[in-house]
Structure 1
Amino acid sequence: MSSVIIVGAGIGGLCLAQGLERAGVEFEVLEADAGPQVRDQGYRLRIDAMGQRALRQCLPPDLFELFRASCAVSGPARFVDPQLNPLPGRRPENWRENAGAGQADGDLSADRQVLRDILSHGLAARIRWGRRAREFERDGDGIIVRCADGAEHRAGLVVAADGLHSPLRRQWLPQAEPEAIGALNLYGKAPLAGVDPAMLAGPTVVFADGFTLVAEPMRFRAPMETLAALHAPDCRLGPADDYVYWALFGRMECLGGSLSDEEAGESVRRRVADAARGLHPSLSALLARTAPETIKGRAVRMASHVPMWPSGRLTALGDAIHAMSPAGGVGANTALADAAALAACLADGGIDQAVARYEADMRSRAEQALAATRAGTERLLRRA
């Protein structure tokens, strides 16, 4: 029996795994994906000071330095209207420039797959790929996790880190199901070639009528293989070519109406093309250059609050318990902070006391982040 089972090998679950590895706590990770590269993990993640502290706490020093080196090089952001006219008054209060853009302690822009590769390093023997957790059962002083393939795993503590649609959370806390907020997030990546040079200087945030477009160049210092050789020679990173990341976040009615979970590719591309019609040619050209297979979309769901429950041998982190909209970029960072806090609590001793301390800390942090995300969402969805 493992001391801890982590359900989900996403950013939060793997950060927790690294923290437990450093602390010498026995654990295993159950992940539904058949392997680390079987599906697209998404594109850019902005890692703020909170997320960076969590990664520094959980990762070995060489992997943390590799994380920093692997992040994109970028310049100051500009805030504009759909015709690229400056809107300095729309700059969000919590916006922090990228590190290297005149702010030494600024945000970092990481490629999600590269970060996942870094967080997976050294954990191969602990990750059980292709194990989709389906349900749990309390068993004395532990928890049994049953998987879709019939496998059963028992541990003293189970951590649901399996995201927005967590089956464990749905069984355990059905009242905590995230709610649709009437917004969509459409996103993709385009090659650098042919992009207006002004779009490559730094992030561009476009405030339109009912939606916001964010575009950010993801240009890396060197090939990932070279960076790994310099900072953590045993770590194997997949290739990551430079690209421009973009995301359209807006009211459902402004981005083509409701979006099914199965909708992808050309169908989502048409929604993007419709939204691009009123944009400056540099912006519409960027969106048009995006290959349909790189365009993703999802309806935005968000937790209304973090519910109360009796502390025990099952807990959760990240989107599995406090899903947030992408507005403000705090969701991934809050998940990383959850992971670091739980790892630190478990490193101190007994499971029951550790979980109680962690959950009190997590609720406080998550409620603040949810309030910030709600405010950010309202700003980004504002009509002109």
Structure 2
Amino acid sequence: MKSVIIVGAGIGGLCLAQGLAKAGIGFEVWEADAGPQVRGQGYRLRIDAMGQRALRQCLPPDLFELFRASCAVSGPARFVDPQLNPLPGRRPENWRENAGAGEADGDLSADRQVLRDILSHGLAPRIRWGRRAKGFEREGDGVALHCVDGHAHRANLVVAADGLNSPLRRQWLPKAEPEAIGALNLYGKVSPAGVDPALLAGPTIVFADGWTLVIEPMRFGAEMSELAARHAPDCRLSPTGDYVYWAMFGREASLGGSLSAEEDAAGLRRRIEAMSSGLHPSLSDLLRRTAPEAVMGRPVRMAAGVPSWQPGRLTVLGDAIHAMSPAGGVGANTALADAAMLAACLADGGIAQAVARYEADMRSRAEQALAATRAGTERLLRRL
């Protein structure tokens, strides 16, 4: 009987948990946060074909259909300069339009908290909120996982899915620490009321000098409670009304300098106001409408690559091993694919063989995604 501890209740860790539940494999999910909504988790996630396949594989059919139904409905993207003049030549070759209503192809724009609600459904008895892992020891055919509360827990397999600051990865693979790339990601959301209707028709990608602004309307087909009642009546989704998501990605020098850990919401808001000057009035108005508490920001860190190691009873997925810049739009999708592959491998065979097969697949996929992300980062940071 396999026993698995998944460290981290983010998108990748919860997707893996759903896959293990479907396969009948015993597991627990540890999450350092005291609950599912104790801190901001971000806003919009674009889920591409790879991510959708992973979710379809791991989720029960009713939850997968709820995921699709809960995504935003949007139109085609436009690519413009800061005065909203068209820049068709800046459209990335690999840009994927959002899927329309009822369409099978195309990306889907999901609200991060709603997706997390869906991925958490049915797992409550197995999620240990407020349990923070600080280190591990290998013990025979398993791993002893140590908590900050002094207790140790043992499992046949431990999966570090706890993000780019993973303490398990730092202990195990200290040279795999993601590196700062000298860029920032500032993002927020605002009510669509009063926003220029042209910005509500579909995604708008604004290319400026050394930075890029992405704006996407998140307009949902119905109330989340109605969608849940229609597709998975027992699932409780966070109330989420329509909003406009925006994200600024750029060089630190172009976005007001490096970001300190002490910078508060007011400081982030001042950066946004400074960046608003010189933009088309529709863009500056949208940014200035954003409440300070809705603005988030973080320095961008990225893995240089995925190192080699001897497969064992500890493995990693998602940002814990291949953190990516948001520029390529593939970080969350790669984590979902990791989760689906690991679940499939564990369902098919013993732990040793499953981990070796998974890690070979993960490493190849992650290196391709990192290459795509580097290319996307260079494109978005390009100077005019």
Q: Could you tell me the TM-score, scaled by structure 1's length?
A: 0.99
* 1:101 shift after superposition: 7.4
* Whole-angstrom distance in 1 between the partners of 2:92 and 2:84: 17
Aligned to 1:189: 189
* 1:232 shift after superposition: 0.2
1:1-384 matches, cutoff 5 A: 3-100=3-100, 104-384=104-384
CA contact (8 A) 2:2 2:25 kept: no
Bigger mean CA deviation after superposition, 59-68 or 150-159? 150-159
1:234–1:70: structure 2 CA closer, same or farther, 3 Å change rule?
Answer: same
CA contact (8 A) 1:264 1:295 kept: no
CA contact (8 A) 2:7 2:162 kept: yes
SS at match of 1:234: coil
Bigger mean CA deviation after superposition, 32-41 or 17-26? 32-41
Q: Which amino acid aligns with 2:342?
A: L
* Whole-angstrom distance in 2 between the partners of 1:89 and 1:8: 41
Q: Which amino acid aligns with 2:365?
A: R
Q: Which amino acid aligns with 1:285?
A: D
* Whole-angstrom distance in 2 between the partners of 1:25 and 1:2: 6
* 1:149 shift after superposition: 2.0
Give identity over the alignment, percent: 82
RMSD: 1.1
* 1:161 shift after superposition: 0.2
* Whole-angstrom distance in 1 between the partners of 2:276 and 2:362: 39
CA contact (8 A) 2:74 2:98 kept: yes
For residues 286-322 of structure 1, what are the alpha-carbon distances to aligned partners after superposition, in whole Å with 9 as ceiling and x for unaligned?
A: 0000000010000000000000011100000000000
SS at match of 1:274: helix
CA contact (8 A) 1:97 1:103 kept: no
* Whole-angstrom distance in 1 between the partners of 2:62 and 2:283: 39
SS at match of 2:369: helix
* Whole-angstrom distance in 2 between the partners of 1:127 and 1:244: 32
* Structure 2 residues not aligned, in runs of 5+: none
* Whole-angstrom distance in 2 between the partners of 1:264 and 1:8: 26
* 1:102 shift after superposition: 9.9
SS at match of 1:327: helix
* 1:103 shift after superposition: 6.2
Q: Which amino acid aligns with 2:186?
A: L
SS at match of 2:263: coil
* Structure 1 residues not aligned, in runs of 5+: none
* Whole-angstrom distance in 2 between the partners of 1:382 and 1:103: 34
For residues 66-116 of structure 1, what are the alpha-carbon distances to aligned partners after superposition, in whole Å with 9 as ceiling and x for unaligned?
A: 000000010000000000000111011111100007964000000000000
* 1:355 shift after superposition: 0.2
For residues 202-221 of structure 1, what are the alpha-carbon distances to aligned partners after superposition, in whole Å with 9 as ceiling and x for unaligned?
A: 00000000000000000111
Would you say how many aligned residue pairs link Structure 1 and Structure 2? 384
Q: Could you tell me the TM-score, scaled by structure 2's length?
A: 0.99
Bigger mean CA deviation after superposition, 135-144 or 78-87? 135-144
* Whole-angstrom distance in 1 between the partners of 2:262 and 2:115: 26
For residues 118-157 of structure 1, what are the alpha-carbon distances to aligned partners after superposition, in whole Å with 9 as ceiling and x for unaligned?
A: 0000000110000011111111111011111223221010
* Whole-angstrom distance in 1 between the partners of 2:102 and 2:154: 49
SS at match of 2:180: strand
For residues 31-69 of structure 1, what are the alpha-carbon distances to aligned partners after superposition, in whole Å with 9 as ceiling and x for unaligned?
A: 001011111111000000000000000000000000000
SS at match of 2:188: strand
* Whole-angstrom distance in 2 between the partners of 1:118 and 1:378: 34
* Whole-angstrom distance in 2 between the partners of 1:232 and 1:151: 37
